[in-house]
Structure 1
Amino acid sequence: MDIMDIVEMVEVVGIALGVIGLILTIVICALPTWIVTTFIADNSANTEVILYGLWMSCVTQGTGQTQCEVYNSMLYWEYVLQPARAMIPTAMILGVLGVMFSMVGAKCTNCIKEKTSQAKLIIIAGILFILAGILIIIPVSLLARSIISDSSMRIKGKPELGASLYFGWVAAALLLIGGVLLCITVGVFGWTMGIFGWISSLVSCCISILYYPAPPYWGMWKVLMTITSISSTLGALGVMGSIFGTRCCNCIKSNRIRVKARFVVGIFFILAGILQFTTEIVVVHYLITDVQRQIDNFAKFIVFKLVILAEVCSWSACMLLIGGTILCCSIFKRNQPDSTTFSQPPANNSVFNRS
């Protein structure tokens, strides 16, 4: 099988996974099965099962009768579902755009003949799929954590994870895998991982700057601010280099200079990832060794922010290190001829021109 056939096959699989993920996203946006709360009564006829969705809630009586209505009052779960109301429709829009770009830029459709334009559209489609997957997995995971945590037990009844949450995880996984496959087919997976890792590093930098603690924790917090700021700066340099170093942009004509640019950008991403990993180590060390946080109420309030910072730094470090390593390893590929030089045609040899 030719390498081009394999690339087209992987591309088709990525588009198919993105389409299926988009369909599941539409399903979970419409169905009111995000949260299932059961009220058990002495009489089975009085038992109620309440289903909460993004836009409406349904009540199923023990007799089998079901009645649905749009939210008309600010209930507890309505506040919890508010982030999903913004993120899920946005993910749907990104998914639709990703499917459109992937269909137009796919090699099998031949809507565009120019390979450079095809690669650009596939890159955009892959990034849109990845963004849609991230926008789905965040509200679904946060809601599942809220249901499982002790704070949700204050609500009368027993809340459980609904089917839409499981479908949401599947949809996010399909969109992420589809987006990654599309980025792999055009050889920009390393760039994509580095860019998303840099975006995550910006989130950790914002967390360390905006949430400024009390004086006893200034020293530790200043260290975190410095590390995350330097990491974000290195990631920004890598992103700037990635804009000019990709083959589809054609900003650099020479293959040799392009390979060197990949290596330098990979180094920037790796250094940024190491700093993000250092931030996580500092936070984890503080959470393990600091005894005052167990008796100080304010320290307990700081712990929640530190846990979020550690989670964001771990994701950012993984993506930056993976992306930087892939870009640095590209220098070990077999050398290609420089596109800025033109080879002379071989001289005619009379030995091979005999009649």
Structure 2
Amino acid sequence: MGMDFVFTVEVVGIALGVIGLILTIVVCALPTWIEITIIEANVTTTEVVTYGLWMSCVAQGTGQTQCEVYNSMWYPARAMFPTAIILGVLGVTISMVVAKCTNCIKDETSQTKLIIIAGIIFILAGILILITLFMVTITVQINYFTQSKGNFELGNSLYFGWVAAALLLIGGFILCINVGVFGWMMGIFGWIVSLVPCCISVLFILDPYRDTWTFLMTTSISSILGALGVMGSIFGTRCCNCIKSNRTRVKARFIVGIFFILAGILQFTTVFLNYYLTHTFPEYRRGFLIFFAEHSRWAGSMLLIGGTILCCSTLKKKPDSTTTKSISH
């Protein structure tokens, strides 16, 4: 029964990753990321302009549609989205090869390690998609399309992109949960996301604003604590075998959880500081603050969840040795 449950969970994680990959490819190809409806007095002259990563289309009221490749301002998005697709393909390939239903790899230890790698790749792909969607949405809303005439709307592709990212993240987490490393993964990826606000605060420090030092201090300390937690995660897992004693491994897990929790608290502190100090920055810089706050919220949530799971996992009581001896006799 236990093996059937593990097999089912594994299949669900792989299936979510496959569906997320297919949606990612569709979203990357569709030119419906942004929609602008230009309404004129004459219905036949009304136009709907849609923008994607690679091309823009104009649908006229007469029913004619013209599409052309254009020089997009989303150059980072054009790099990150194909990278997410490549990671998704790699994750699907590895997960299918090492799945228990294929029996391509007989060794259970090797299967476990490769399943973890596949889950990590799915999560990385999902994070890349989320960063791309945040970047495109915030940049467009603040800097570009809000100044154009017509009704501005986010296109359907962005919503499908959120779904694709969610499926990849959930599929990756399920694969990692299946082998018992969910707390480690949440903390590690929370630290990776927290590096984005840290880099933004470094850019802000170039401005002559005294309050930017507060952002730099909190994000830097959070990144250092997260890095300590990541190093402890790497050396404290069973697959690494750097720590032989089970008792020492439990203590290391608890310390890593505390590091992640402290880093998460500092991330949320930067979010509160962000809202408190936003009015002190010029209007053209507030878009960066919104981008900063979104990443800090995501990073803080993952760090807190991962740290809490790791700390709670150390509270499991093991059966007393005398009880086990009596049962064995």
TM-score (norm 1): 0.82
**SS of alignment partner, residue 332 of structure 1:** coil
Alignment partner, residue 229 of structure 2: 238
Matched, 1:7 2:6: yes
Alignment partner, residue 291 of structure 2: 308
Distance 1:88 1:143 in 2: 12
Alignment partner, residue 188 of structure 2: 195
* TM alignment of 1:71-110, pairs within 5 A: 71=70, 74=71, 78-79=72-73, 81-110=74-103
Q: Which runs of 5+ in 1 are unaligned?
A: 348-355
Distance 1:243 1:45 in 2: 63
* TM alignment of 1:171-210, pairs within 5 A: 171-210=164-203
* CA distance 1:36–1:313, change in 2 (3 Å): closer
* CA distance 1:267–1:107, change in 2 (3 Å): same
* Deviation of 1:304 (Å): 4.1
Matched, 1:269 2:260: yes
Q: 1:158 aligns with which of 151, 157, 161?
A: 151
Asked whether the 8 Å contact 1:44–1:62 carries over to 2, the reply is yes
Distance 2:291 2:42 in 1: 44
Name the aligned partner's letter for residue 12 of structure 1: V
Name the aligned partner's letter for residue 21 of structure 1: G
Distance 1:61 1:286 in 2: 45
**SS of alignment partner, residue 59 of structure 2:** strand
Alignment partner, residue 65 of structure 2: 66
* Deviation of 1:284 (Å): 3.0
* Deviation of 1:175 (Å): 0.9
* CA distance 1:133–1:227, change in 2 (3 Å): same
* CA distance 1:45–1:131, change in 2 (3 Å): same
Name the aligned partner's letter for residue 117 of structure 1: S
* CA distance 1:254–1:84, change in 2 (3 Å): same
Distance 2:66 2:285 in 1: 44
1:47-78 CA-to-partner distances (Å, cap 9, x unmatched) read 3333322222233333323333323xx4xxx2
* CA distance 1:257–1:172, change in 2 (3 Å): same
1:325-345 CA-to-partner distances (Å, cap 9, x unmatched) read 11111112243799xxxx9xx
Distance 2:139 2:292 in 1: 18
Name the aligned partner's letter for residue 304 of structure 2: L
Asked whether the 8 Å contact 2:135–2:291 carries over to 1, the reply is no
**SS of alignment partner, residue 249 of structure 1:** coil
Alignment partner, residue 122 of structure 1: 115
The percent of aligned pairs where both chains have the same amino acid is 66
Aligned length: 324
Q: Which runs of 5+ in 2 are unaligned?
A: none
Q: 1:333 aligns with which of 310, 316, 326?
A: 316
Distance 1:145 1:183 in 2: 31
Distance 1:234 1:336 in 2: 34
| C-alpha RMSD over aligned residues | 2.6
Asked whether the 8 Å contact 1:147–1:160 carries over to 2, the reply is no
**SS of alignment partner, residue 60 of structure 1:** strand
Distance 1:249 1:109 in 2: 26
Alignment partner, residue 131 of structure 1: 124
Deviates more, 1:206-215 or 1:125-134: 206-215
Alignment partner, residue 269 of structure 2: 278
Deviates more, 1:119-128 or 1:32-41: 32-41
TM-score (norm 2): 0.88
Alignment partner, residue 302 of structure 2: 319
* CA distance 1:327–1:82, change in 2 (3 Å): same
1:158-187 CA-to-partner distances (Å, cap 9, x unmatched) read 332222112111111111111111111111
Alignment partner, residue 19 of structure 1: 18
* Deviation of 1:303 (Å): 4.2
Alignment partner, residue 45 of structure 1: 44
Asked whether the 8 Å contact 1:255–1:337 carries over to 2, the reply is no
Alignment partner, residue 31 of structure 1: 30
1:236-261 CA-to-partner distances (Å, cap 9, x unmatched) read 11111111111222333332222222
* CA distance 1:279–1:140, change in 2 (3 Å): closer
Asked whether the 8 Å contact 1:36–1:160 carries over to 2, the reply is yes
